[in-house]
Amino acid sequence: MDSLYIVAGSILKKSLSKKASLKTLIYDSGFNNIPKLTALTTELVKNNELLQEILSHFDGHGLLSEDIVEGKKEIALALLYEELLGNRFGKNVALRKVMRKHKAEIKAAVDKVLSAHNVKYLKMLTKRENSKADIKIPRYMRVNLIRSSPDDVIKHLQDEGWDFVGKLDLEKFKEQALSLREDQFALDPLLFDVLVFPVGTILFNHALTLSGTLVQQDKASCIPAHVLKPPSGSVVLDCCAAPGNKTSHLASLMKDDGKVIALDQSLSRMQTMSHLLEKIGSKCVELINQDFLTVQPDAEDAKKIEFILVDPTCSSSGMLGVQQGKDNYSTDQARLETLSRFQITILKHALKFPNAKRIVYSTCSIHKEENEQVVEQVMSHVSHHFKFKKVFPELKNCRGLDGFPHSKYFLRLSTENDLTQGFFVACFQRRKKVLEQIVKAIKTAEHCNKNKKMITETTDLQESAANNEFLTSDSKLKKKKKKEKPLVSVVPSHDMNVELKKSDVNSDTKKKKYKKPQSLISGEQTLTDEDNKKKCDNFSEDKLEGFTATLKRKHKRSLDSEETKSDGLVCEELVQKKKKRKKEKFVSLED
């Protein structure tokens, strides 16, 4: 038997018993064809009630007794879907023969269901089942920029006969996307690397998909990488990376230039991601099988990380299959609270990386407990370092739920309004001026310490002045005066100008002119030590510096006056002696 139906049946059973999210179960299965398994399990969840009703009319001796079914109802449901609503097992001849053996039993069960609902065809019940949410989503295909470009892919598809209608209008997106014909496709108005195909288009076996040039990925799932927007050459961390669609998208946007560190603690999911990365041709992704919470943000390698994507495990309540299946699957409050605590822990840890410039948080959940409440609570602890950056401001009608202070910065996508899976995105941007503020704070602290030291020195000086220890010593003043004295002094005289060389001034004059001033100078009394002490007793701290300068200035003026007086007396004495000698010489000549 084809293992696809065994794995799908097992996932259906675990999904209905709320063991984990559908997305987690699919990627944890380790199945080698994830797109095919996803398509089957999504349809099983969507049509579960109808298939269960049909199977209820079977007896235990028919299909359920087959060895391939092993008595497991979920495997029988997978086989029934493929026989009644799928592609009838494709090339699997063995399974077709088995189902043919029970054709009468299957037909009888279907007739009973049709009769009970008063319809003619089973597909009418399928449409009625799906019309509960009336959900239709176009087929989105992402261009792998490592292998090609949007223009080249568009040209290739046109050569195959597809009709390219151009870039869709953002305001009329829903109307235009749903009106695409089976042979048409378009370019998404928001994401330059996403192509839009009609609802139900099958491309997982197309040549471009098989070669890794096109990647089947919902538009909502493509948004986080565009919001993170790491430039080429960056170091990026995807902390919950598997199954790898967003990781491969990051590598694509970076043109495989730089480094993407992909962490996940599930080994089986990492193996699935390894196959995907090999398919798309990415070499810049480093796979690490490790729990993100064990990574030390202050490690040397971690300091190089600039951009972080946080897409943690969630309820997957936004996925189309879950929305159309059991509504109570993801509304278990206890489970939501457990998920919320885990998501808060993961996000807080991501924000500890010292050089991370931008962190994007995303979930495929529709519940506020996993979205607005998580990011608001975390921001309350990191607002001094980070701020919210508005996610795609162009989408004005896709903001967060009302009642939260930063809802206008968040992005919420829904199937009804945006033709995507239910999705939530928030972006944390590091504040640019934090480093400047830190430097400013350090400088302010240093300035305060310097002022404190100056105040302490001033206080010590004031105490010294009070003890009459602040006066400048005579020896220091004499030394300063010697430096300032010119080599030639010009002294005025009543009779003539006399130039005296320094050598002409005797030692007695030198001693005299540097004596402490004892007479009136410019009509002011020279301050004595006792006067200075009395004045300092009532001296305030803020005037101490000015007072000290005044004392020095007065000492200088006093010394200058004494010097001038001494020099004048010496010159007058020399003049008188010279006159006397001339007079004596004149008297001698007369004799």
| Cα–Cα distances in angstroms (integers) from residue 576 to residues 61, 491, 579, in the given order | 155, 15, 5
Rounded Cα distance between 268 and 475, Å, is 90
Is 245 marked within a binding site?
A: yes
Is 291 marked within a binding site?
A: yes
What is the number of other CB atoms lying within 10 angstroms of the CB of residue 66?
Answer: 17
Specify the residue for token string 């239910």. Answer: 422
Is 240 marked within a binding site?
A: yes
**Helix 544-590 to helix 529-537 angle, to the nearest 10 degrees?**
160
Rounded Cα distance between 412 and 361, Å, is 12
Question: In angstroms, how far is the first alpha carbon of the chain from the final one?
Answer: 162
Nearest to 389 by CA among 363, 367, 357: 357
Rounded Cα distance between 186 and 176, Å, is 9
| Cα–Cα distances in angstroms (integers) from residue 569 to residues 258, 481, 512, 559, 562, in the given order | 91, 20, 11, 16, 11
Beta-ladder partners of 570: none
CB 179 within 8 A of CB 209: no
**Quick one: tokens of 19?**
């063991």
Report the predicted TM-score, pTM, of the whole model to 2 decimal places: 0.61
Which of 364, 427, 536, 571 is the catalytic position?
364
Rounded Cα distance between 330 and 479, Å, is 93
* pLDDT per residue of the chain (591 residues) written in tens, 0 to 9: 568 888 888 888 888 776 677 878 888 888 888 888 888 888 888 888 888 888 888 776 677 777 767 667 888 888 888 888 876 666 677 777 878 888 888 888 888 888 777 677 777 777 555 544 456 799 999 999 999 999 999 999 999 999 999 999 999 999 999 999 999 999 999 999 999 999 989 898 899 999 999 999 999 999 999 999 999 999 999 999 988 999 999 999 999 999 999 999 988 888 889 999 999 999 999 999 999 999 999 999 999 999 999 999 999 899 865 555 444 444 578 889 999 999 999 999 999 999 999 999 999 999 999 999 999 999 999 999 999 999 999 999 999 999 999 999 999 999 999 999 999 999 999 998 655 566 566 667 777 776 666 666 566 555 555 554 444 444 444 444 444 434 333 334 334 443 434 444 444 444 444 344 443 333 444 445 555 545 545 545 455 556 556 655 655 555 454 444 444 555 566 667 666 765 665 555 555
Is 314 annotated as catalytic?
no
What is the number of other CB atoms lying within 10 angstroms of the CB of residue 459?
Answer: 12
Rounded Cα distance between 239 and 242, Å, is 9
Label the pairing between strands 411-413 and 423-430: antiparallel
Cα four-point dihedral sign 574, 578, 583, 587: positive
Is 246 marked within a binding site?
A: yes
* Phi, psi values for residue 79, rounded to 5°: -70, -40
Which stretches within 93-216 are classed as H helix? 93-101, 103-117, 122-130, 150-159, 173-178, 207-210
Rounded Cα distance between 440 and 435, Å, is 9
